[in-house]
């Protein structure tokens, strides 16, 4: 119980922990010795994996190395589906619920999921239109 409280306090302020210990503990030296012994017995926590950063690369290099391959993969996938006559269906709806006060949590989650899916479908439709516009104008 006390460990959980100390953990929560430590996320905000080390001084708060210090002040609490100063006011509660009678034998401060014994506590300090115990904490030092525990600290030395503990292994160092594993370091978090750092994501690869692209420092020193220009915007153009990042676009060419990271974004462009993703665009090409999606275009290839779209072309393959179009060749075999299998086109994706995207349902775009513009009927939104306006009274959220009467919905329970499950209904709110469902409406939120539908709105997110509509965003994805609309973005995909926009990309397809831009792709075909580029194909026909090129």
Domain boundaries, the chain: 88-138
Residues 86 and 78: beta-carbon distance below 8 Å: no
* SS3 readout for the chain: CHHHHHHHHHCCCHHHHHHHHHHHCCCHHHHHHHHHHHHHHCCCCCCCCCCCCCCCCCHHHHHHHHHHHHHHHHHHHHHHHHHCCCCCCCCCCCCCCCCCCCCCHHHHHHHHHHHHHHHHHHHHHHHHHHHHHHHHHC
Backbone angles phi, psi at 93, to 5 degrees: -120, 150
Point out the residues of the chain with pLDDT beneath 70: 1-2, 45, 49-54, 88-94, 96, 135-138
| Residue reference for tokens 């929560």 | 8
d(CA 132, CA 22): 71
Q: Mind listing the pLDDT tens digit for each residue in 9-36?
A: 777 777 777 777 777 777 778 777 777 7
| pLDDT (0 to 100) of residue 54 | 59
The reported pTM is 0.38
| pLDDT (0 to 100) of residue 78 | 76
d(CA 63, CA 68): 6
């Amino acid at each position: 119980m006390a460990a959980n409280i100390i953990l929560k306090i430590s996320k905000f302020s080390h001084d708060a922990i210090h002040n609490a210990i100063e006011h509660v503990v009678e034998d401060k030296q014994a506590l300090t010795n115990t904490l030092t012994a525990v600290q030395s017995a503990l292994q160092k926590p594993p370091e978090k994996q750092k994501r690869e950063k692209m420092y020193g690369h220009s915007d153009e290099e990042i676009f060419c190395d990271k974004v462009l391959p993703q665009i090409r993969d999606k275009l290839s996938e779209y072309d393959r589906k179009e060749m075999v006559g299998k086109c994706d269906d995207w349902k775009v709806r513009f009927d939104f619920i306006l009274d959220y006060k009467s919905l329970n949590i499950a209904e709110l989650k469902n409406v939120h999921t539908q709105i997110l899916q509509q965003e994805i479908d609309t973005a995909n439709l926009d990309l397809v239109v831009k792709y075909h516009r580029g194909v026909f104008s090129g």
